[in-house]
């Protein structure tokens, strides 16, 4: 079994909870509440700030220009497409630049983002790639499942969210990361660390959907 498949298999139970979460299924059906999506959307915008750190440090740690090029191209794709969608939605909601600057991290987002920063700064190149793979691969999976099931929600943002995560850029980058992980020569200790990364990230992904779907607030 290829290492990337082994890593996915090691978190198969929580993976299925993530990709079949009610947030995802209702997004595909177009029945997801606007409040839940707005919470998710705003928190994902904050999350994107730390996601770009992960991509940037993976680029800095890459051993060759081919790997660096793949990472930079995906960073450009995310900042050009997803971040552009954020700005469009904020304008439509009448949020000023200051309003966007003042968006607050909810507890789950703050902890997840901190985890990504630690992995970005402290991890080896292959550990950072594994972190990125654990972030992006479930999104490709649930989006492809919705697309294969013929889900086309009327809500423009819900459909665009599916389209972004089924794009050729997304699938190509996930495939490249899988190939990179599969080609890595790792020790038993390094393999165990990659499994830990997948476990941690999938746990955070589940909590992220729960945060948006169930609601979350700081204690007063």
Q: What is the pLDDT of residues 11-35, one digit of tens each?
A: 999 999 999 999 999 999 999 999 9
Hey, how many other C-beta atoms are within 10 angstroms of the C-beta on 100?
Answer: 16
Integer angstrom CA distances of residue 53 from 49, 119, 146, 172: 7, 10, 29, 21
Residue 79 falls within a domain, yes or no?
yes
**Domain total of the chain:** 1
Per the confidence metrics, is the pTM higher than 0.85? yes
Residue 11 falls within a domain, yes or no?
yes
Integer angstrom CA distances of residue 178 from 6, 94, 95, 111: 11, 40, 39, 26
Q: How many helices (H) and strands (E) does the chain have?
A: 12, 0
pLDDT in tens, 125-146: 999 999 999 999 999 999 999 9
Residue 219 falls within a domain, yes or no?
no
CB burial class (10 A; 0-12, 13-18, 19+) of residue 118?
exposed
Counting residues of the chain whose pLDDT is more than 70, the rounded percentage is 99
> Across residues 89-118, what is the average pLDDT?
93
Quote the pLDDT of residue 89.
Answer: 85
Residue 74 falls within a domain, yes or no?
yes
pLDDT in tens, 157-213: 999 999 999 999 999 999 999 999 999 999 999 999 999 999 999 999 999 999 999
Residue 67 falls within a domain, yes or no?
yes
| Rounded CA separation 193/204 (Å) | 17
Integer angstrom CA distances of residue 120 from 34, 73, 83, 130, 181: 33, 18, 20, 11, 16
Counting residues of the chain whose pLDDT is more than 90, the rounded percentage is 85
Q: Which domain holds residue 7?
A: 3-214
Residue 155 falls within a domain, yes or no?
yes
Residue 172 falls within a domain, yes or no?
yes
User: Cβ contacts of residue 89 below 8 Å, gap of 6+?
Assistant: 41, 157
Mean pLDDT of the chain: 94
Q: Which two tokens stand for residue 168?
A: 């050729």
The CATH code of the domain that includes 73 is 1.20.910.10
């Amino acid at each position: 079994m290829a290492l990337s498949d082994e890593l996915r298999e090691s978190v198969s139970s929580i993976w299925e909870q993530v990709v079949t979460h009610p947030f995802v299924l209702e997004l595909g059906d177009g029945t997801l509440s606007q409040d839940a999506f707005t919470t998710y959307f705003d928190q994902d915008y904050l999350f994107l700030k730390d996601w770009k750190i992960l991509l940037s440090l993976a680029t800095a740690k890459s051993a060759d220009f081919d790997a660096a090029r793949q990472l930079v191209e995906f960073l450009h794709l995310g900042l050009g497409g997803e971040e552009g969608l954020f700005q469009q939605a904020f304008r439509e909601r009448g949020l000023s630049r200051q309003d966007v600057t003042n968006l607050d991290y909810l507890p789950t987002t703050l902890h997840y983002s901190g985890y990504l920063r630690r992995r970005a700064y402290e991890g080896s190149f292959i550990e950072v790639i594994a972190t990125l793979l654990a972030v992006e691969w479930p999104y490709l999976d649930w989006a492809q499942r919705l697309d294969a099931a013929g889900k086309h929600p009327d809500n423009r943002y819900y459909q665009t969210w599916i389209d972004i995560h089924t794009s050729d850029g997304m699938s190509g980058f996930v495939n490249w990361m899988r190939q990179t992980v599969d080609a890595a020569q790792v020790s038993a200790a390094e393999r165990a660390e990659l499994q830990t990364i997948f476990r941690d990230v999938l746990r955070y992904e589940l909590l992220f959907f729960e945060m948006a779907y169930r609601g979350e607030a700081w204690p007063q």
